Amino acid sequence: MTAISLDPRQWPGLHPLLIAHDVGGSRDRSTAVVGGHCAYVPGMLGITEFNELPRGLYGSARASALAQVDARYERNGLIIADLSSDSSYAEQLFETFGARVIGVHISRHGIGMEAERRPVGRGNILVYHVGRSHLLEALLSELHAGRLCFADGPAARRAYAQLEALEPEMRESGMAYKCLPGQHDDLGISIAMLNWAARHPHLQYWIGNMLAARRPRRPQQSFGWGAFT
């Protein structure tokens, strides 16, 4: 592996904590990849967990499986969720995780700098449109620069193998990365999503919204006639 492999038990902590959630289709698994910035090395992004969720999960069952991973980290991270194939899933995610959800719509083009506010239930979430090739190129750049480390293990090596197996193809619109027939890229794309979110200029804004949603609201003061007598 060209990424640095370290024992996550020796890491002093990751902040902010991010969970990238790629939503699989009928053939791929959904994922929950966990990571964040390493406090001991400025600019270093560490990834601790590479989870492929069971097949056949949809809606609330899929969100519940993701919540089990989230619970291991005291429900304290941002959820970066792929909404490309199932936009209605945003409502279930918001119901489960609230203001911690940041949506990503992966397509052919886009750098993910602008967001739309998508109404969900009693609130809304931000959804960013970003190109698949842009995600992977940004990830490749960080790997080459040595600013990404994986906690070594079978799942991490499987994720890295998925990235290595992607086949680059030059097209008129630029470089594209194809997943070969019979192969999967769910963990690899999740790593790219996490890397994109961790280095996004809106990261502190997302964290601020998450913290604001957790603050207890002050009770409204009511003034009746009795208050003046």
Q: What is the pLDDT of residues 107-123, one digit of tens each?
A: 888 999 999 999 998 89
Buried b (16+ CB within 10 A) or exposed e, 153-167: eebbeebbebbeebe
Question: At 128, is the pLDDT very low, low, confident or very high (cuts 50, 70, 90)?
Answer: very high
SS3 of residue 150 by DSSP: strand
139: part of which helix (H) or strand (E)?
helix 132-145
According to the model, what pLDDT value does residue 2 have? Answer: 47
Q: Which residues contact 76 (CB under 8 A, 6 or more apart)?
A: 17
CB-CB contact of 201 with 111 (8 Å): no
Parse the chain into domains and list their residue ranges: 4-216
> Domain 4-216, what architecture?
2-Layer Sandwich (3.30)
For 129-162, what is each residue's pLDDT tens digit?
A: 999 999 999 999 999 898 888 888 899 889 989 9
Estimate to the nearest angstrom the gap between the alpha carbon of 182 and the chain centroid: 25
Mean pLDDT computed over 69-94: 93
SS3 of residue 187 by DSSP: helix
Q: What is the mean pLDDT of the chain?
A: 86
According to the model, what pLDDT value does residue 19 have? Answer: 98
